[in-house]
Amino acid sequence: MDQAVPEVFTGSFTQQEPIPEEAIEAAVAVMRHGRLHRYNTVPGEAGEVALLEEEFAAAMGAKYCLAVASGGYALGCALRAVGVAAGDRVLTNGFTLAPVPGAIAALGAVPVFVEVTEDLVIDLDDLAAKAEASGARVLMLSHMRGHLCDMDRLMAICDTAGVTVIEDCAHTMGAAWRGVASGRHGRLGCYSTQTYKHMNSGEGGFIVSDDAEAMARAVLLSGSYMLYPRHRAAPPVEAFEAAKWVTPNVSGRMDNLRAAILRPQLARLSEQCAAWTARYRVVEEGLRDLPGLTLIARPEAEDFVGSSFQFLLPDWAPEAVQEVVRRCAARGVEVKWFGAEAPVAFTSRYDSWRYAPAQSLPRTDRVLAGLLDMRLPLTFSLEDCAVLARIIRAEVSAVYQRGA
């Protein structure tokens, strides 16, 4: 009797949805009039960037918003805006992507890595200990791969220690903790609109805050010159008076073309977030109760956006984890391993960021050694996601049964 042919997935893990037609029309209109620079407007015209900032601030429930050239620029700008300087220690997650510690190191500041838990969030006990021991006065909190920690407890720890929180929300635009939007717990929240994020302008980002002093500095840093009165979601002009004399121009403005592409996407962000999470739940259900595999717990207080999926193969030998990755790839499923000794594509470990001092994070090491990650683009259907789960389940089971 012939054996059944194994399923093979043929979808692309890097193919995003097309830009909406209304966004294309808005972008063409900008190209036709040629005023791409955010401050190149005619009398009575707000400009696409200024309108987008106003709309994004309202969507996030923030007083102020600044649109910038990239999510990485947003991180560096936010650090400068709260006064981080060369030699300062800045706390951040041991599990994150390279732009986060990179933004710290680019200022000449020193990343201090905090352990991660099996739920892929910052270890709050380790955070409390390192806030006291390091003397750091800023935490750049990465909501890595869309996982929110207990934000109430985190803010209590940081408030007690006198630590300013900057939130990296590159993976959590549209998410919330107990109804409070991601990016709205700390002093500033930073977002990305790079292609694989929740809105797509190729590159781009936002900073939001209710803090007039910090946001005035951020606007000046971004390259506003003395044109800040043209912003519609910036602090009042008096907030700029002292800062305008002492804040360097580190230009990183968003342009009207990208803003035009983003405004229609923002209008449907909630719908998109729900669609991602529906796909996440299909994969989660397909992998539930699989021996050798641990799913990541999602707290009831967390309103997450499931644009990527993570699972753990705890205490597996590295060769066995690599075998799962290889077997899945042979069937068209791209899963990334965060435990490799050398950086691969966007995955890297804290010990590969050698611009930071060497640090010991044994709990994080154990988590990353068994951590696998998979994108869930909205070009995948719910049935596609069921196929992904079946393939992963079969290959994890095959390797596990042989003795992982």
Contact 147, 125 (CB under 8 A): no
Same domain, 193 and 145: yes
Q: CATH number of the domain that 349 lies in?
A: 3.90.1150.10
Q: Which amino acid is at 125?
A: D
Domain count, the chain: 2
Residues 154 and 125 sit within 8 Å (Cβ to Cβ): no
Residues of the chain with pLDDT under 70: 1-3, 404
Query: Residue 365 and residue 358: Cα distance in Å, rounded?
Result: 13
Angstrom distance (rounded) from CA 269 to CA 59: 9
Q: Which domain holds residue 397?
A: 269-403
The CATH number covering residue 116 comes to 3.40.640.10
279: tokens are 């796909």
Whether 226 and 336 map to the same domain: the answer is: no
**Could you tell me if residue 16 is inside a domain?**
no
Integer Cα distance of 136 and 163 in angstroms: 7
Say which DSSP state 179 is in.
T
- Any residues with CB less than 8 A from the CB of 115 and at least 6 apart, and which? 94, 122, 123, 126, 361, 363, 364
pLDDT in tens, 223-278: 999 999 999 999 999 999 999 999 999 999 999 999 999 999 999 999 999 999 99
Helix (H, G, I), strand (E, B) or coil at 237: helix
- Could you tell me if residue 8 is inside a domain? no
In a domain, 203, yes or no: yes
What was the pLDDT predicted at 1?
43
Among the candidates 232, 267, 302, a domain finishes at 267
- Quote the pLDDT of residue 277: 98
In which element (H, E) is residue 311 found? strand 308-312
- Phi-psi category of 292—alpha, beta or left, where left has phi over 0 and alpha has psi -120 to 50? left
DSSP code of residue 96: S
Query: Which tens digit of pLDDT belongs to each residue from 158-213?
Result: 999 999 999 999 999 999 999 999 999 999 999 999 999 999 999 999 999 999 99
Backbone CA torsion sign across 79, 83, 86, 88: negative
